[in-house]
Amino acid sequence: MAIAVFGGGCFWCTEAVFDELRGVQSVVSGYTGGSVKNPTYEQVCSGRTGHAEAIRIEYDPAQVAFRDLMTVFFATHDPTTLNRQGDDVGTQYRSAIFYADEKQKEAAAVFIKELDEAKTFRNAIVTTLEPLNEFYEAEKYHQKYYANNSYQPYCQITIPPKLHKLHKQFAELLKSHGKPS
């Protein structure tokens, strides 16, 4: 198993997306990239901890490549807005790849360069590449938030469009791909 850690705005949204990919064994919402040890949600929301809301993905590289995970990551959030995703504003919502090793860092740098050179997005990508230090698991009520709270207004508005895009553009990467319904 390998680990990938992404910050792409609200972790409820990113968790819901990556939970559906084949080869993904677990997706954990949490905080990383800051200086406060064992931060709480309230502390991170203040924007004063330096942490980003992020997800830690445990995956099988034989079933899904890191590059595939990055492809989905960049397609399901806006990597061109600094410290913002929709109405969520602040450094805690920054677009970031927290690399576990130099190989991931290099792969992410090359991938971002390819996307920018191809002008995939109207504006330049502002996603940061940051070393993965300590990852703090978010409070229990944040885990599998969309699965447990899909009726919540924020979830109803924000997450279904991301899942629709995932299903439309990346059907071959889904856990359900090729299985009878």
Domains and CATH numbers, the chain: 2-173 (3.30.1060.10)
User: Is 13 known to be catalytic?
Assistant: no
In angstroms, rounded to a whole number, what is the distance separating the alpha carbons of residues 68 and 18? 11
Residue type, 113: K
> Is residue 166 predicted with pLDDT exceeding 60?
yes
Q: Is 65 helix (H, G, I), strand (E, B) or coil?
A: coil
User: What does pTM read for this prediction?
Assistant: 0.95
Burial 8-41 (b: 16+ CB within 10 A, else e): bbbbbbbbbbbbbbbbbeebbbbbbbbeeeebeb
The catalytic position among 10, 13, 45, 155 is 10
CA distance 174 to 176: 5
Q: 82-125, pLDDT tens digit by residue?
A: 999 999 999 999 999 999 999 999 999 999 999 999 999 999 99
pLDDT band at 176 (very low <50, low <70, confident <90, very high): confident
Res 178: pLDDT: 53
